[in-house]
Structure 1
Amino acid sequence: MSDYDDVWLVIPAYNEGQVIAEVVEAARKTFPNIVVVDDGSSDTTGEHVEGTGAHLVRHPVNLGQGAALQTGLRYALAQPGAEYFATFDADGQHQTKDVEVMVQLLRTGQADVVLGSRFIEQNGQVPWIKRVVLRTAAAVSPTARKLKLTDAHNGLRVLNREAARRLRITMNGMAHASEIVSFLAGSDLQVAEVPVDVLYTEYSRAKGQSLINGVNILFDISLRERGR
């Protein structure tokens, strides 16, 4: 038995064959319940998940991270005893020690959703271009300001069962992060933000958010807020 038998990690993965087994095996030392959604990878991501003890769900074609998260959350919600759900990156950037802190906060009943922030306690790891884009995204988004968020596009989140049940992610690309923040801002769910350490390895930097994608995030926020 584990202290975290009621927690499920949801890991969306697209062409992460180089690192996914290592990420899953390390996470399972703390969290036994993990579902990896192989989002139509063209490499051996799915094969590397097999044998790790994680549950594997496959999309036949690439649908985007938002769709993979929605698939993973629906799968985890259907599992017996599942009460808490963490969205966790496949590239090794997130740490289970942060998830433990976030889950404990939910257990106290002080929040329904806990979001990770790279900027509450800055450790200098965030590349400067990414820092500028992400801080600007939080500043220009009315929904992020309503929630008093410092980091509106951090992929590390933990939700209780009610929040996960109510969440519907319809934007399949990276824009899902803005959609989640908008959903939370319009709900009666209690949202907390805590500091987390994101590890920017050479691998994750190579696969990470480019400046162009960062500009796309800002454009997406503008369109979403205009349509509200």
Structure 2
Amino acid sequence: MPDCPATQPPESAPASPAVAVLIPVHNGGPFLEGVLDGLAALPLTVWVVDDGSTDDTASRVRFRPVRLLRLPIRSGKGTAIRHGLARILGDFSPEWVLFMDADGQHRPEEVPRFLSAMEGEVDFLIGSRMGETENFPLHRLRTNRVGSTILRLMSGHAVPDTQCGFRALRAHYLRGMRLESKGFEVETEMLLKALRAGARWRPVPVSAVYDGQGSHFRPVADTYRICMAALRYVAE
């Protein structure tokens, strides 16, 4: 489907070509509105990839100062991210791409932490919720610890929160990265490939927000896919 026409950001928050925000979403209209409201005053170019939503997500976005890319059928978070990156990196030249979820778990007011950290000698900023583990659902905490252990054994990097989708990576690394994952395992794949390419990383503390709504993560199926993504890295 074609994109809806892009509108100009408000004068109080001019778009910056330096940082593009990529938000994949499926049936997340109400949550997405809150995220977009929080980003409105920041100097960012915001892209929303609608992954085959059947609710009113597209209509909630259409007249906002963001760019909307619609996929005709639901294809998974990884596929949505690949489509979004192809458009962002093909049409623009951002220095960074910042990734956020639209389910209310990533707080827009914490984005400035990433923007400030980008000024340092770093290539990959990875959100870390490990300062608030008391707010983690047990199954998510276990999945995260498994992923962190696997990554440490495979790469030697002790990344505290491997599954956090709130992250930012220099576009240079994304341009040379071939992502293949279709679902949530894309976060593990991106992390492993960036580290292998020599990206300098650091954690950025973010909140752990879980209210039982919004997330499409499936504990058993998606944990399995995450482990398989890590094993594919070994085989490459």
State the TM-score, normalizing by the size of structure 1.
0.86
Matched with 1:34 is 46
Deviation at 1:84, TM superposition (A): 1.9
Secondary structure at the counterpart of residue 97 of structure 2: strand
Q: Is the 8 A contact 1:8 1:84 kept in 2?
A: yes
The CA distance in 2 between the partners of 1:123 and 1:175, in whole Å, is 21
C-alpha distance in 2, partners of 1:111/1:143? 22
Any gaps of 5 or more consecutive residues in structure 2? 1-11
Opposite residue 139 of structure 1, the aligned amino acid is: T
1:166 is the counterpart of 2:176: yes
Task: Tell me what 1:134 maps to.
Answer: 144
Taking structure 1 as reference, are residues 157 and 125 closer, same or farther at Cα in structure 2, changes over 3 Å only?
same
Which of 204, 208, 213 is equivalent to 2:221? 213
Q: Is the 8 A contact 1:9 1:31 kept in 2?
A: no
Q: Find the aligned partners of 2:160 and 2:133 in 1 and give their Cα distance.
A: 15
What aligned pairs does 1:5-20 form with structure 2 within 5 A after superposition? 5=16, 6-20=18-32
Check whether the contact 1:138–1:145 (CA below 8 A) recurs between aligned residues: no
Partner of 1:147: 157
Q: Give the Å deviation of 1:2.
A: 4.2
Cα offset, 1:96, TM superposition: 2.5
Task: Give distance in 2, aligned partners of 1:166 and 1:211.
Answer: 31
Deviation per CA, 1:75-127, whole angstroms, max 9, x where unpaired? 2234556322100001111122332212222222x1011111111x2352211
TM-score under structure 2 normalisation?
Answer: 0.83
Relative distance call for 1:69 and 1:102 in structure 2 (3 A) is: same
SS in 1 for 2:28: coil
1:92 partner SS: coil
Q: Which amino acid aligns with 1:224?
A: R
**Structure 1 segments unaligned to the other structure (5+ residues):** none
Confirm or deny: 8 A CA contact 2:107 2:207 kept in the other structure. Answer: yes
Cα drift, residue 32 of structure 1: 4.2
| 8 Å Cα contact 2:132-2:208 kept in structure 1 | no
**Does the CA contact (< 8 Å) of 1:184 and 1:191 recur in 2?**
no
Tell me the equivalent position of 1:118.
129
Cα distance between partner residues in 2 of 1:214 and 1:172: 11
In structure 1, the residue matched to 2:195 is 185
- Number of aligned residue pairs: give it: 224
